[in-house]
């Protein structure tokens, strides 16, 4: 039993828990918002179509990226999953690696001379040689695999929840995680990912929206409303959800498509309302 013998000891005993409580509330306020301070609304952007390219109607697109002048696409569903290199202007498949029938292919990303591909519920990922598509390595993870991108140093992986996982591309082990939040709370359904000029773009399944995420804090910095990309005819012709974001840093071009969509779109994110008219060039 501790006996408090002096008035000073009493003051310290009282102040210590109060200090700890004040420190907790101070940290909490820096993470979320200063009490009483108005929070600026998160902007919602539209888009402008720059170009339209053909896309394989049979491609159940789970991953999309752009590197070295080519599109790389990850195709899903058991018995149909593959990794592809695709010619942008024609949509022609230039190279393909077919996964074993038991795998449901998911997101892909290209980092230097390697391609990384996830699978959905198999909890296995693959590493390929970028040039030959030769499978170099298999790695495992403890969650579902949905989307994948990278920031040049780390692989960034989604699992369909509000969590983003950071993986070391050399050891293929998780080195961190991030919760994605907007003013309403956690943002779930994070799917296909792309790293664009310091911001993570993510398709939000099963919506027509792309969310923009701060990779340091997990805070949502913007939304892109992609509704209306397909014509009414195309939208009724057996397509699935919007899924697939690719960025060309050299040309500052952003591409989007969807599962079993007949088109791939080059778009510009704009502040004004979205339009579905084609505008060649910027």
Is the residue at 158 inside a domain?
Answer: yes
Per-residue confidence (pLDDT) for residue 34, from 0 to 100: 47
DSSP one-letter code for 1: -
Whether a cis peptide bond, with omega within 30° of 0, leads into 43 is: no
Is the residue at 240 inside a domain?
Answer: yes
pLDDT digits (tens, 9 = 90+) for 95-125: 999 999 999 999 999 999 999 999 999 999 9
Is the residue at 1 inside a domain?
Answer: no
Q: What is the DSSP string of 108-142?
A: EEEETTEEEEEESSS-EEEEEETTT--EEEEEE-S
Average pLDDT of adjacent 10-residue blocks, the chain of 282 residues: 43 42 35 53 96 98 98 98 98 98 98 98 98 98 98 98 98 98 97 98 98 98 97 94 98 98 98 49 34
Is the residue at 18 inside a domain?
Answer: no
In the chain, how long is the greatest CA-to-CA distance? 85
Q: What's 224's domain CATH number?
A: 2.130.10.10
Per-residue confidence (pLDDT) for residue 40, from 0 to 100: 80
Is the residue at 9 inside a domain?
Answer: no
CB within 8 Å of 141: residues ≥ 6 apart:
118, 123, 125, 157, 165, 167, 174
How many angstroms from the chain centroid is the CA of residue 107?
9
> How much is the pTM?
0.84
Of 266, 267, 256, which is closest to residue 64 (Cα–Cα)?
256
DSSP one-letter code for 230: S
Q: Are the C-beta atoms of 269 and 44 separated by less than 8 Å?
A: no
Is the residue at 149 inside a domain?
Answer: yes
Is the residue at 4 inside a domain?
Answer: no
The total domain count for the chain is 1
| Domain range enclosing 58 | 43-270
Cα(96)–Cα(255) distance, integer angstroms: 21
Backbone angles phi, psi at 245, to 5 degrees: -130, 130
Indicate if the alpha-carbon torsion angle 218, 257, 260, 73 is positive or negative. negative
């Amino acid at each position: 039993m501790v006996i408090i013998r002096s008035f000073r000891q009493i003051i310290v005993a009282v102040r210590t828990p109060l200090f700890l409580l004040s420190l907790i509330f101070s940290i909490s306020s820096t993470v979320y918002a200063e009490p009483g301070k108005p929070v600026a609304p998160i902007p919602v952007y539209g888009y402008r179509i720059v170009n339209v390219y053909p896309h394989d109607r049979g491609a159940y697109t789970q991953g999309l990226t752009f590197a070295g002048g080519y599109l790389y696409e990850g195709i899903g569903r058991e018995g149909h999953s593959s990794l592809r290199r695709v010619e942008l202007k024609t949509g022609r498949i230039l190279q393909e690696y077919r996964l074993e029938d038991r795998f449901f292919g998911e997101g892909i990303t290209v980092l230097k001379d390697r391609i990384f591909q996830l699978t959905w519920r198999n909890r296995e990922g693959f590493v390929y040689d970028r040039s030959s598509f030769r499978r170099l390595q298999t790695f495992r993870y403890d969650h579902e695999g949905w989307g994948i991108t990278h920031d040049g140093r780390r692989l960034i992986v989604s699992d369909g929840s509000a969590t983003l996982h950071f993986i070391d591309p050399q050891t293929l082990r998780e080195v961190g995680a991030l919760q994605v939040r907007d003013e309403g709370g956690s943002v779930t359904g994070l799917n296909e990912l792309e790293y664009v000029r310091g911001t993570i773009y993510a398709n939000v399944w099963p919506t027509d929206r792309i969310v923009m995420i701060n990779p340091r804090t997990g805070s949502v910095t913007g939304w892109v409303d992609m509704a209306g990309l397909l014509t009414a005819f195309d939208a009724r012709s057996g397509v699935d959800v919007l899924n697939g974001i690719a960025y060309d840093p050299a040309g500052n071009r952003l591409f989007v498509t969807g599962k079993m969509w007949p088109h791939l779109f080059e778009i510009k994110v704009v502040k004004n309302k979205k339009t579905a008219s084609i505008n060649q060039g910027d």
